């Protein structure tokens, strides 16, 4: 009973923490797949008339001097930039994303998702088109697409369905081209002045423990209305108890382990009380209090160690089962803005993934050590209490 | 008594306001077999507990093999019992989860020695009790007589200076009881074992070298 009670407590402790870690890990996924820990967008206005190149209302100009200051924030390990444009042509609307030629942080990772053709060559005004969009509109490799009065040869198709869900477009250009289009757009300039070297999307890789202060520093530089997306902000969107609060996990874990300890203690105390006669015999034949205490301690530690291992096995089985659960992480419209009037424009976007439930070695080790400590404490307390039994008292009433 | 191995002098034991043993004085010689008899409730088991160091007297003193034990601490008493005293209880008091040899070796577990040595010593003594074929059996698989023989083996494994037996045949049928007493007598006669046995059966008491009677907590002259 003591082993079962403690096993269940340990299993609950491990699985609660594993679930919490899994939701935290899942919340990192939308940003991780674009190579970032933080994304930054500054909301602003859109021109009254949507024609030519404009910025979405969720991502307006981030100035070059602001970029320079951001690069100096402690804890930042890398910065990726992009320019996201809505370009309204007489016969077609494009969502165009200007990406850097090479950068492990940000949408340059699209290089790995070229399904057909090739990626841009450095310095050349070329375009990549999203595969599904190309199929829908019959665009072929080698065709030219016209954008804000400029012509770009299509050199490749990108399978965006397997790429990131953030900053999704249907046309991808070299960053310099997108910057040039933005700078030349009068409607855009009228609401969000845009200069050389400016961008409107930032992707930041930061030291994990410094993400929160980095996010605060970003808001300080770019203003309080700036949308700074972090793993924590995605965690809040998940809405799970495990995702919402580390305190919930902590409190639930403590309650689980406390109940388990009480069950273990009560059961073992009951067992030991039932063994009072046996302990009386041990003392009668020459066992000292220390001998008895050590024996009970060894038994208690062994029982609790076994309970810890059993609990861990239960937790592994539960983690394996929970690993089949899928989790849908909502991607805010602002992070992948599509004009509502375009097909699919208002469709909510989700990053769907299997819940990455795993039991880290440290958690497993902690749970087994905790079991042993519980066994040690229980055994010591009970041993001290029971070793005070006088053999004559328990053997007298035969 | 010149060769007394056990001497109890002026022993009194009071539980709350009830005096169970009153000014009892008793001596047992080395190699002597003494029966302590009396009616149920006369205080003989309490006196046995005091004399064996399981119970402290309210007043008086106990000396075993020249050592005064009535003032010793609990752990000193335990160590003393381990090295000098053997017990045979009425209800055997075997530990149900341990095998016959483990029960026999119980006093040796706190002693630093190898498991093989413990087992060898326990098996050797169990064979003397004609239980060589039962060493790995649990008490539940043993008959009453076999259980008591395991208990006797346990009492002897530390080569005690004196063995205290409290109604050793009380839970056995007559034939089995006789067989146990035959073993006890053989040990006394062949090995010179010193024995103090509590019994309420006069016939059993007669097998001893000497009979001490108790009545209402007092040792009768």
pLDDT tens, residue by residue, A67-104: 999 989 999 999 999 999 989 888 888 889 999 988 88
Inform me whether the pLDDT recorded for A274 exceeds 80.
no
Interchain proximity B154–A285, CB inside 8 Å: yes
| Mean pLDDT, rounded, for A127-140 | 91
Residues A212, A73: Cα–Cα separation, whole Å: 12
Interchain proximity B110–A287, CB inside 8 Å: yes
Least confident span in A226-240, A307-321, B66-80: A226-240
Highest mean predicted confidence (pLDDT) among A109-123, B1-15, B111-125: B111-125
Residues B115, B132: Cα–Cα separation, whole Å: 18
Residues on chain A bordering chain B, Cβ-to-Cβ distance under 8 angstroms:
277-278, 281-291, 390-392, 395-396, 398
pLDDT of residue A346: 65
pLDDT of residue B28: 94
DSSP designation for B146: H
Q: Which residues of B touch A281 (CB under 8 A)?
A: 89, 93, 95, 106
Contacts of B196 (CB under 8 A, 6+ apart): B6, B28, B34, B36, B48, B51, B162, B163, B164, B165
pLDDT of residue A242: 59
Nearest to A281 among B46, B90, B93 (CB): B93
Q: Which residues of A touch B107 (CB under 8 A)?
A: 285-286
Inform me whether the pLDDT recorded for A313 exceeds 90.
yes
Helix (H) or strand (E) holding B19: strand B18-29
Residues A122, A108: Cα–Cα separation, whole Å: 12
Q: Which residues of B touch A302 (CB under 8 A)?
A: none
| Mean pLDDT, rounded, for B166-187 | 88
Residues A128, A147: Cα–Cα separation, whole Å: 13
Kindly identify which residue of chain A lies nearest to residue B54, measuring between CA atoms: A392
At A19-77, the pLDDT tens digits run 888 888 888 888 888 888 998 989 888 777 777 889 888 888 999 999 999 989 999 99
Q: Which of A278, A279, A286 to mutate to test the interface with B (most CBs of B within 10 A)?
A: A286
Q: Which residues of B touch A272 (CB under 8 A)?
A: none
At B130-168, the pLDDT tens digits run 899 999 999 999 999 999 999 999 999 998 999 999 988
pLDDT of residue A342: 65
Q: Which residues of B touch A395 (CB under 8 A)?
A: 49, 54, 89, 93
Q: Which residues of B touch A384 (CB under 8 A)?
A: none
Interchain proximity B81–A286, CB inside 8 Å: yes
Inform me whether the pLDDT recorded for A343 exceeds 70.
no
Q: Which residues of A touch B46 (CB under 8 A)?
A: 396
pLDDT of residue A350: 74
Least confident span in A349-358, B112-121, B150-159: A349-358
Contacts of B174 (CB under 8 A, 6+ apart): none
Tell me which of B35 and A355 has the higher pLDDT: B35
Inform me whether the pLDDT recorded for A398 exceeds 60.
no
pLDDT of residue A84: 92
| Mean pLDDT, rounded, for B33-61 | 91
Cβ-contact A214, A39 below 8 angstroms: no
Q: Minimal CA–CA distance to A361: which of A320, A312, A322?
A: A312
Starting from the edge strand earliest in sequence, which strands make up the sheet with B67-68, in order? B18-29, B4-15, B59-64, B67-68
pLDDT of residue A240: 62
Interchain proximity A285–B82, CB inside 8 Å: yes
Tell me which of A154 and A255 has the higher pLDDT: A154
Average per-residue pLDDT for chain B: 91
pLDDT of residue A333: 72
Average per-residue pLDDT for chain A: 86
Banded model confidence at residue A315, pLDDT cuts 50, 70, 90: very high
At B186-200, the pLDDT tens digits run 889 888 899 999 988
Q: Which of B 38-67 lie inside 8 A of A, CB atoms?
A: 45-46, 49, 54-55
- Interchain CB contact of B203 with A (< 8 Å): no
Phi first, then psi: give them for residue B219, nearest 5 degrees: -85, 125
Q: Which of B15, B110, B154, B167 to mutate to test the interface with A (most CBs of A within 10 A)?
A: B110
At A216-246, the pLDDT tens digits run 999 999 988 898 988 888 888 776 665 556 6
Interchain proximity B82–A398, CB inside 8 Å: no
pLDDT of residue A241: 61
Banded model confidence at residue B37, pLDDT cuts 50, 70, 90: very high
Question: ipTM of the assembly?
Answer: 0.91
Please provide the DSSP assignment of B156-170 as one string.
Answer: HTT--SEEEEESTTT
Nearest to A392 among B49, B79, B91 (CB): B49
CA distances for B67 relative to B45, B70, B79, B157, B199, angstroms: 22, 9, 12, 21, 26
Residues A370, A16: Cα–Cα separation, whole Å: 15
Q: Which residues of B touch A277 (CB under 8 A)?
A: 93
pLDDT of residue A91: 81
Helix (H) or strand (E) holding B190: helix B174-191
């Amino acid at each position: 009973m003591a082993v079962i009670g403690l096993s269940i407590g340990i299993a609950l402790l491990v699985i609660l923490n594993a679930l919490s870690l899994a939701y935290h890990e899942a919340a990192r996924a939308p940003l991780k797949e674009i190579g970032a820990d933080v994304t930054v967008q500054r909301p602003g206005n859109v021109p009254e008339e949507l024609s030519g190149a404009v910025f979405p209302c969720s991502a307006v100009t981030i100035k070059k001097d602001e970029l320079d200051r951001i690069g100096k924030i402690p804890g930042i390990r890398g910065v990726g930039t992009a320019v996201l444009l809505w370009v309204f042509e007489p016969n077609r609307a494009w969502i165009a994303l200007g990406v850097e030629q090479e950068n492990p942080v940000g949408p340059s990772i699209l290089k790995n998702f070229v399904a057909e053709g090739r990626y841009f060559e450095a310095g050349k005004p070329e375009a990549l088109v999203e595969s599904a969009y190309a199929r829908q509109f019959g665009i072929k490799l080698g065709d030219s697409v016209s954008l804000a009065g400029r012509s770009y040869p299509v050199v490749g198709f990108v399978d965006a369905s397997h790429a990131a869900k953030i900053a999704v477009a249907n046309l991808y250009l070299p960053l310099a081209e997108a910057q040039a289009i933005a700078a030349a757009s009068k409607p855009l300039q009228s609401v969000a002045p845009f200069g050389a070297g400016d961008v409107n999307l930032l992707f930041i890789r930061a030291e994990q423990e410094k993400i929160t202060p980095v996010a605060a520093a970003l808001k300080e530089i770019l203003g309080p209305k700036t949308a700074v997306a972090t793993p924590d902000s995605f965690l809040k969107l998940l809405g799970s108890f495990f995702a919402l609060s580390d305190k919930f996990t902590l409190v639930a874990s403590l309650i689980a382990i406390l109940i388990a300890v009480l069950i273990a203690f009560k059961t073992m105390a009951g067992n030991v009380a039932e063994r009072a006669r046996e302990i009386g015999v041990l003392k009668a034949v020459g066992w000292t209090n220390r001998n008895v205490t050590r024996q009970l301690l060894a038994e208690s530690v062994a029982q609790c160690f076994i309970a810890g291992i059993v609990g861990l096995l239960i937790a592994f089985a539960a983690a394996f089962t929970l690993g089949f659960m899928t989790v849908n992480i909502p991607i805010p419209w602002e992070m992948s803005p599509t004009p509502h009037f375009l097909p699919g424009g208002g469709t909510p976007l989700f990053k769907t993934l299997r819940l990455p439930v795993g039991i880290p070695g440290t958690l497993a080790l902690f749970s087994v050590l905790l079991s042993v400590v519980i066994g040690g404490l229980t055994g010591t307390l009970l041993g001290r209490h029971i070793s005070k039994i006088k053999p004559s008292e328990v053997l007298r009433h035969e | 008594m010149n060769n007394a191995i056990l001497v109890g002098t002026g022993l009194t034991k009071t539980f709350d306001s009830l005096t169970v043993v009153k000014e009892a004085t008793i001596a047992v010689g080395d190699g002597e077999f003494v029966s302590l008899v009396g009616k149920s409730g006369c205080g003989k088991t309490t006196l046995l507990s005091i004399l064996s160091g399981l119970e402290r007297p309210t007043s008086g003193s106990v000396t075993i093999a020249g050592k005064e034990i009535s003032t010793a601490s609990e752990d000193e008493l335990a160590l003393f019992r381990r090295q000098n005293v053997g017990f045979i209880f009425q209800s055997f008091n075997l530990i149900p989860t341990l095998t016959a040899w483990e029960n026999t070796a119980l006093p040796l577990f706190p002693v630093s020695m190898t498991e093989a040595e413990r087992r060898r010593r326990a098996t050797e003594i169990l064979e003397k009790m004609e239980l060589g074929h039962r060493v790995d059996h649990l008490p539940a698989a043993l008959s009453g007589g076999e259980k008591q023989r395991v208990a006797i083996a346990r009492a002897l494994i530390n080569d005690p200076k004196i063995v205290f037996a409290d109604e050793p045949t009380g839970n056995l049928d007559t034939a089995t009881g006789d067989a146990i007493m035959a073993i006890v007598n053989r040990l006394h006669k062949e090995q010179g074992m010193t024995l103090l046995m509590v019994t309420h059966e006069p016939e059993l008491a007669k097998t001893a070298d000497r009979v001490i009677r108790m009545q209402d907590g007092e040792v009768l002259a």
